[in-house]
Structure 1
Amino acid sequence: MRTLYVVTHPEATHHVERVVGGWHDSQLTPAGLRAAGSIARALRARIPGGAEVELFCSDLRRARQTAEPLAELFGVEPVPDRRLREKSYGVAGGRPQEWLDQRFVPPPADGERLEHDEGVAGAETKGMLARRVYAAMDEIVRRPCEHQVIVTHGGSLTFVVASWIRMPIQAVGQVGFPVPSGSITTLREDDYFHNRAVVGLGDIRHLGSAESAAG
């Protein structure tokens, strides 16, 4: 049995400052740091004592900060991977969200969506984001460890899940799995049928009402 726990980082400064996240290297707020501790304790309660655990995280500061209490509780070193980053919004990163909203070109309902140009210089397309997350996931799931934790971002989580269920990249143009900040998504593959299940998506029961209000 293999289980992956996919964590989305909790409240970060770009949330409260209302600026664009993406590759802007924001950090966790005090509430986010408390939530990171709650996430670590929740996973410590779910994973059997003595089990081997591997920990992977986006290399952005808010994800690394989320991984720190996990690393301490499980006694492992987190493996940072830039491919697990949030989508890059190019020149919009760190600017007011309103600035991006005024310039953003939404994708069409039909037609080309994977490589759609959103009208912001330097921004990644959905296809670019999907391909790098899929590449990271391919390496993670090739490892034989039964318990793996991945700390990433809300936008990237969609492609972690899509990769897990082996959805072809050509089909992800319209897929989306929105989850709250500070959530835990549980993915599991059984040893008999080798089915890959999404056991829980975006669970925030481990967070108090104040911690989960950030989104």
Structure 2
Amino acid sequence: MNESYEGVEWWLIRHGLTGWNLQRKYQGHSDEELLPGEASGLTPLRSKLAGQSFAGVYCSDLKRCRQTLQLIRPDLTAQAVYDPRLKEMNFGAWEGKTYEMLEHNPLYRAWIDNPKLYTPPEGESWELFQNRVADFQRELVQKSKELAVSGNANPSILLVVTHGGVISTLNMLMNPDADFWDSKVSPGEIMKLKLS
């Protein structure tokens, strides 16, 4: 099989704004809803995606991502694959808390300085999170190779609606020069990865 996936694009969308985003609280696996007026906040993204066809649609199974997909492209919700591997990192006991609430906690300080060595209480280790996202990424790479082999003259686009940490991880896995911390995508924004 051809090992190339040239001409395939991944459109990675971070979910829209939640109340916890505004309060700067860790969300992780907490199933927060979008803000009530977020439909208007997602209008620019909805306009960018209008009429665009996708070779595959993937979405985190958390409510804020499902609601985002429903608001930006309701016609795609039935074909979407809702995948738990696309959830944000599980911050355990720190979910619902802000930096200011945790800044004097020695374990939190150690985790901030080196998240690869420390794990939030009742949360997910850096290694488990990265491995979970890498497992999804391998499947998406395989799908991309299959699309490239199909010989479609138009770029084949895979849409992924997920979370900031997942987007940073996918970008880092696909771009060896990328750093996790340099891949910030704000709520309701898109990062496009052109594969070559």
Shared fold (TM-score, shorter chain, > 0.5) = yes
Determine if contact 1:67/1:78 at 8 Å carries over to the other structure.
Answer: no
The answer to whether structure 1 residue 147 and structure 2 residue 160 are counterparts is no
Task: State the match for 1:208 in structure 2.
Answer: none
How many aligned positions are there? 177
Structure 1 match to 2:42: 36
Match of 1:175 in 2: 180
Please state how far the C-alpha of 1:70 moved relative to its aligned partner: 4.3
Among the aligned pairs, what percent are the same residue?
21
In structure 1, the partner of 2:4 is none
The aligned residue for residue 7 of structure 1 is 13
CA 1:18–1:61: 2 relative to 1, 3 Å: same
Deviations 1:4-53 (A, max 9, x none): 100011211212344321111111003433333432321225x3xxx443
Q: Deviations over 1:125-154 (max 9, x none)?
A: 322221111111111221134211001111
Question: What secondary structure does 2:167 align onto?
Answer: helix
Residue 153 of structure 2: aligned partner: none
After TM superposition, list the pairs within 5 Å mapping 1:75-114 onto structure 2. Answer: 77-103=79-105, 104-107=108-111, 113=114
Q: Which amino acid aligns with 2:122?
A: G
Aligned to 1:137: 137
- Who is 2:33 aligned against? 27
Q: Which residue of 2 aligns with 1:117?
A: 118
- 1:151-210 per-residue CA deviation (whole Å, 9 max, x = no partner) reads 111122110111223x4xxx98x6321221111101112xxxxx2xxxxxxxxxxxxxxx
Give the unaligned 5+ runs of structure 2: 1-6, 148-155
Deviation at 1:75, TM superposition (A): 7.2
> Which of 1 and 2 has higher RCO (CA within 8 Å, sep 6+)?
2
Secondary structure of residue in 2 paired with 1:102: coil
TM-score by length of 2: 0.77
Partner of 2:151: none
